[in-house]
Structure 1
Amino acid sequence: MNPLFRFAGGLPVALALCIAPAAAQPAQHAHVHGQLKLDVAVDVQTLTVSIDSPLDNIVGFERAPRTDAERKTAQQAVAQLRAADKLFAIDPAADCKLGQVDLDAPVLGLGQAKAGEPAGHADLEGSFTFECRSPVQARFIDIALFEAFRNVRQIDVQIATPDGQYQRTLKRPAKRLAWGK
């Protein structure tokens, strides 16, 4: 289940966040090398970050690793993603600690293959839940994805908070994702 739908009372916000951009913009190809999609959902006790990226952005290829070097690259990338608190430094005002991490990239042995997934265009999806004392106090996340994954050039972001919805685009070398007042 998409983390945007998990937070209490957030269904209307999550639906608007998912539907409004699609209605307002022409259809875009979901799999664009160099671009990574990021969703941020702020709830009363959690802040959830979800990513959707072509696998090439993360490991440099879009298939199962074939060589020892590729296996090592994939293992290092998965380790970096599992240490999401190093990739996403949330505003200290929210007082957050990394909780659950879910990764889905079937060609790397993470998650289940999906029917209809185009051959040669593997993706990685991840969900990172941070348990927070006051997540609504967060006004930024410092993001280290550009440093961690050299093929990422742009991050398209949707943010849903109790105070509003925001869209942002980060391009190299930007690090801070900010929202709110």
Structure 2
Amino acid sequence: MGSISLDKDIILDAAEEAIRRFGPHKANICDAAKALKVSHAAIYRYFENKTALWNAVTERWLNRIFAPLEPILHEDLPVEKKLHRWLTLLVQGKRKSAFDDPEMFANYTAMAAEASEVLERHMEQLVSQLESIIIQGATEGKFSVAEPHQAAKAIFLATSRFHHPAFVNEWYNDDVEQNFQTVVALLTNGIKTRC
């Protein structure tokens, strides 16, 4: 086979394309190796096995999709609007990925069913961002919460029907947007400081 200068990003690109082309269950390391014109052994120098490679592909994909969430933490917005904007972009990112990139979303869904470490890290990162917004709200006297981390986790779980892949079929319902807005309003009102 021809020689190519390999690195993890090149391998991840090839594996992501293999997943899109063949689906997450049919694609394998050999498909990525063929696309790169290298032996599958060359890929094993970078990734221990298919699971490690698929995990890395999914983690990179998730980071790309949810990159727009981090800047919201630094926006000059009232904290209630910041919380609403963050949750809205979280939901929109998941929906867009499900509709626009179905094979990668299927890969993500399969990992979610297995409760992988990649998804646990992803969830922790999202909860940490929510916690940051809640701490800002508490510091400004807008939110009243005893445990910001627990409140962030509760909000994340309470909105999971709108962003967890297990509920993807419900995202097509006519009333999903109204339901989401109602849940976010209730959650925000629940943590607001009472005068």
On whether the aligned pair clears a TM of 0.5, the verdict is: no
Normalized against structure 1, the TM-score is what? 0.30
Structure ranking higher in helix proportion: 2
Larger RCO (CA within 8 A; separation ≥ 6):
1
Q: TM-score, normalised by structure 2?
A: 0.29
- Find the structure with the greater CA-based Rg: 2
Structure having the higher strand fraction is: 1
